[in-house]
Structure 1
Amino acid sequence: MGLAARVAGLTVSFVLLAGGGYVVADITDTVPGFLTNAPVPAPAAPFPTIDGAGDLPELTAGLGPLSPDAAVPSATEVEKLVSRFVDEDDKVGPGVGVLVADALTGTGIAGTGATIGRTPASTAKLFTAAAALGSPGPDHTLDTRTVLGAGEQLYLVGGGDMMLAAGRGDASAVNGRAGLADLAAQTAQSLKLAGIDAVTLRLDDSFFSGPTVSPTWDKRNVEAGYVAPVTALAVDVGRRTEGEYVPRFADPSLSAAQKFAAALSEVGITVNGTVSRAAAPADGDETGRVSSAPLSEVVAYFLQTSDNTITEVVGRVVAAEAGLPASFEGATAAVLAAVGRLGVDTSTVRLADCSGLGDGSSVQPIVLVNLLLKIVSPDNPHLRDLAVSLPVAGLSGTLHERFTVSPARGLVRAKTGSLPGVTSLAGTTVTKDGRLLVFVVMADKVPDGASWNARATVDAFTTRLTSCGCS
């Protein structure tokens, strides 16, 4: 018997047994209902008005739009800045690529090595962000469901949310928007209406396929907690303890399912035996559902925090939407195809993964600049969330401790990239003359022990570019 039939049967029995008594109790106001012998209440007082209330003045923007007439920096002067940066090879190494372009016209201003592939590190996340906001789109959510099958088997079905809360969800959070305790409460209510108080719990995390750990990742990065195994559901991105970079569960999905079993017990549903994996039946009855933050907020989260795991999750979601396997290979293929549809030539791009953590990725600076031009273009309003979600120099995300005493503070929005021997920065800045520029700086042969100096040199170049009144 299906869940709906169970609930209907119980409801009819209750009405037949209790119907007469309910009418009597309704009339005497013992229970709520449409019959009463109470006196008619007095009319409500009119809603109060405020003396002197009138039309409020229109709000005005604190900052006006950038003028299209703002001076474009001189190519000769920007070339000097680029040359100065390249000359500091004792800090940034010999493997440097730089390109600066005017955001309004799309015209390149100056650069070096712009068509040589470099290791992008986390600037590769820009590809995944742009692809996801195109399809499935900014309003898409990652839903975690429960489904009741035959023999009182309950299936926990993952839809890609690796930021579940173990307890109740928090509507103001991205990590923890949906909660397992809320899902357990919904599920328990549905089960109890059907007369069920004990289930066998199954885990269905088949939404994602292939290996959960990329063969291109350094195992030390996994052990250190820089990334988690990528699965179709998890609590707090699979972390074993609180903290940003802490060890992760080897099987985040199973860990989440075990926490869900405990949550069911707390609301009166007995879970028999241990949790095991099984595919949910297509004709099963849904008994509960919780949703992640919309994809626009998830994308902003991984851009701000540079979270590798969540970027990989989003890449798989892009792949599933495109009808490709939700795996490492499917995700990179789907992401590059989506960026290609924006009009960016990705034929020279190699992505080992979606996050930029793996070995083997290669991106030319000119490709990242072309992508940034699409991101800031008014012709692509669906990418606005990406443009405004980039870390802000000296203020937010992975740039909050950089540019803190720089004239570029608050003016640069950029995605950072860092790996051993690699430092990169890709984003936008506004010059002293009020001109919006896009820029990419990549250094992938940084001398051993010079990572801090390389980063400081990249920041110094970006500051000089921002301060440039060099038209």
Structure 2
Amino acid sequence: MRWRLKVGATVASVLALFCGYLVADAYDVVPGMVTLAAPYDAPAPFPDAPGAVPGPSPEVAVPALPEAAPVPDTDRIGDLVTALAEDDRLGKRVGVLVTDAATGETLGESAAGRQQVPASTQKILTAVAAYAGPGGEVTLPTRAVLEGDSQVVLVGGGDMMLAPDAGDPDAVNGRAGLGDLADQVVAQVTLSGRDSVSLAVDDTLFSGPDVSPTVRDSDVADGYVAPVAALAVDVARLTDDKYAKRESDPAMAAADQFAAALEDRGVTVSGSISRQTAASSAREIGRVDSAPLGQIVSYLLEESDNTLTEVVGRLVAVDAGLPGSQEAAISEVVATVESLGVDLTGAVLTDLSGLGTGSSTSVRQLVDTLAVAAQDPTMREAVTGLPIAGMEGTLHERFAEGNPGRGYASAKTGSLPDIRSLAGTVVTTDDRLLLFAVTADAIPEGGSYGANMLFDEFVGDLAACGCTTDAP
């Protein structure tokens, strides 16, 4: 009986404590699930984004002009074109075309459809094809792979602008460095205790001929072009001069410098360096990447680099699934530009840089190529990457102080014996963007330098040429 009383008392105590806890919980004195407080307000719905509307089409690069916009002075521009075309100092074969970038309207022309020697203005075709094909963001890898325990293969991916040692992340020429690649390889090789490797180079990305047969031997000897290779240091220059003599075998010369970098870091290269296609099963142990292709294209346009133009053309072919040969490069550059709507009927390309003999295009074809690039955001940098008059690249010492086109024109130059050309854009005093191309390919002897000045004055006059006050 006594034990029942004790159990009853215990149960009563527990119940009392529990009830007390519930009361304390209800008044939020102690933590728990019971409360007398008012419930929380229902959560507000997620707000709609105010003013959200579909963005503009990325395919529209230049918006339509308002109807009230002034129009270019076609009479004045026509007079300028006629005066230039009839200038005896330029010879009897002068082609000129000026168009309005916004409307495509022809503002002045003379022999615009005649096929003439374009010289280096021909590089515009390759530049546009590079953006339309591989794209400006693509980079070119230089890799090192390990076959077996001690065979290193240096694999070229098209970068002929390697630095011999450390790369410079802010540079275009020299962005990727063989020294940086050697650091990665040494770190991997020495993990197994090795201090010696054999070395091969795989330069099979591109195939011959390495130099176009249409290029003069004297131009090769003078350093205007190097043999095209899947890898090289400083575009195969033997010195720092822009037109220095070039390595006869750029890929093997790069491999020699890579071997020296390995040895400087304590890994000996045994035997001679061979050529070898890297096996698909080989393990990658190092990689460095070039500057983006768009920056390379801007570089070749500014410096009028013949070798890099040929390299980029072959990359366009490889991107299309074709061999990395000169023949495939020329074919694919032409096909790509034509696919954009440019009529290249009658044009002949014997190389891509314009250095060789036998190429011909019309000023209409050059301007039309610029026009399609200017209207498309994915290709526009092929136009904006042209050197600025009086400030950059091959136009650095052109467009003298006082020329209205200085700083307002951007153009690709072309220079061969008795041949001069210029193609690009110019902004007028009314902020109208014009496209132009001019070629003279039969300049009287001794008149080539004067032709540059005449071209500069012509473009400067276009810059100073205002619009008419009344819209149509």
- For 1:201, the equivalent position in structure 2 comes to 199
Q: Does 1:403 align with 2:403?
A: no
TM value normalised by structure 1: 0.84
1:305 to 303, 316, 326: 303
Q: Does 1:237 align with 2:235?
A: yes
Deviation at 1:151, TM superposition (A): 5.6
Structure 2: which amino acid aligns with 1:127?
Answer: L
- For 1:73, the equivalent position in structure 2 comes to 72
Query: Secondary structure of the residue that 1:325 maps to in structure 2?
Result: coil
Query: Secondary structure of the residue that 2:308 maps to in structure 1?
Result: helix
Over residues 410-443 of structure 1, what are the superposed CA-to-partner deviations in whole Å (9 max), with x where a residue is unaligned?
1101111111111111111111222111011011
Query: Secondary structure of the residue that 1:155 maps to in structure 2?
Result: strand
Structure 2: which amino acid aligns with 1:248?
Answer: R
Structure 2: which amino acid aligns with 1:74?
Answer: D
Contact residue 170 and residue 177 of structure 1 kept, 8 A = yes
**Distance in 2, Cα, partners of 1:341 & 1:324:** 17
- For 1:289, the equivalent position in structure 2 comes to 287
Structure 1 residues 405-444: aligned runs within 5 Å: 405=401, 406-444=403-441
Over residues 387-430 of structure 1, what are the superposed CA-to-partner deviations in whole Å (9 max), with x where a residue is unaligned?
22111111112111111311111110111111111111111111
Structure 1 residues 4-83: aligned runs within 5 Å: 69-83=68-82
Structure 1 residues 11-410: aligned runs within 5 Å: 69-89=68-88, 91-150=89-148, 152-377=150-375, 380-405=376-401, 406-410=403-407
**Distance in 2, Cα, partners of 1:387 & 1:217:** 27
Deviation at 1:70, TM superposition (A): 4.5
Structure 1 residues 149-158 or 130-139, which shifts more? 149-158
Larger radius of gyration: 2
- In structure 2, the CA distance between the partners of 1:224 and 1:66, relative to structure 1 (3 Å rule), is farther
**Distance in 1, Cα, partners of 2:72 & 2:377:** 27
Gap regions ≥5 residues in structure 2? 1-62
- In structure 2, the CA distance between the partners of 1:412 and 1:245, relative to structure 1 (3 Å rule), is same
Over residues 315-350 of structure 1, what are the superposed CA-to-partner deviations in whole Å (9 max), with x where a residue is unaligned?
111110111121111111111111112111123221
**Distance in 2, Cα, partners of 1:468 & 1:395:** 22
- In structure 2, the CA distance between the partners of 1:174 and 1:412, relative to structure 1 (3 Å rule), is same
Contact residue 64 and residue 102 of structure 2 kept, 8 A = no
Contact residue 66 and residue 434 of structure 1 kept, 8 A = no
Deviation at 1:362, TM superposition (A): 0.7
Contact residue 118 and residue 362 of structure 1 kept, 8 A = yes
CA RMSD in angstroms, aligned pairs only: 1.4
Contact residue 65 and residue 102 of structure 2 kept, 8 A = no
Contact residue 66 and residue 435 of structure 1 kept, 8 A = no
Contact residue 166 and residue 180 of structure 1 kept, 8 A = yes
**Distance in 2, Cα, partners of 1:150 & 1:430:** 60
**Distance in 2, Cα, partners of 1:434 & 1:145:** 47
Over residues 53-110 of structure 1, what are the superposed CA-to-partner deviations in whole Å (9 max), with x where a residue is unaligned?
xxxxxxxxxxxx9975543223322221111112212x21111100111111111111
Query: Secondary structure of the residue that 2:379 maps to in structure 1?
Result: helix
Q: Percent identity?
A: 51
- In structure 2, the CA distance between the partners of 1:70 and 1:442, relative to structure 1 (3 Å rule), is farther
Deviation at 1:150, TM superposition (A): 2.8
Over residues 239-286 of structure 1, what are the superposed CA-to-partner deviations in whole Å (9 max), with x where a residue is unaligned?
111110111111111111000000001111110011111111111011
Query: Secondary structure of the residue that 1:283 maps to in structure 2?
Result: coil
**Distance in 1, Cα, partners of 2:222 & 2:74:** 44
**Distance in 1, Cα, partners of 2:451 & 2:330:** 29
Structure 1: which amino acid aligns with 2:431?
Answer: G
**Distance in 1, Cα, partners of 2:164 & 2:230:** 15
TM value normalised by structure 2: 0.83
Query: Secondary structure of the residue that 2:244 maps to in structure 1?
Result: coil
2:457 to 441, 449, 460: 460
Contact residue 426 and residue 439 of structure 1 kept, 8 A = yes
Query: Secondary structure of the residue that 2:271 maps to in structure 1?
Result: strand
Deviation at 1:179, TM superposition (A): 0.3
Gap regions ≥5 residues in structure 1? 1-64
Contact residue 315 and residue 324 of structure 2 kept, 8 A = yes
Deviation at 1:469, TM superposition (A): 2.1
Deviation at 1:213, TM superposition (A): 1.2
**Distance in 1, Cα, partners of 2:296 & 2:69:** 34
Contact residue 372 and residue 438 of structure 1 kept, 8 A = yes
Contact residue 92 and residue 450 of structure 1 kept, 8 A = yes
**Distance in 1, Cα, partners of 2:282 & 2:351:** 35
**Distance in 2, Cα, partners of 1:392 & 1:214:** 29
- For 1:20, the equivalent position in structure 2 comes to none
Structure 2: which amino acid aligns with 1:445?
Answer: A
Structure 1: which amino acid aligns with 2:365?
Answer: V
**Distance in 2, Cα, partners of 1:241 & 1:397:** 19
**Distance in 1, Cα, partners of 2:389 & 2:238:** 31
**Distance in 2, Cα, partners of 1:66 & 1:420:** 42
**Distance in 2, Cα, partners of 1:330 & 1:195:** 45
Contact residue 70 and residue 433 of structure 1 kept, 8 A = no
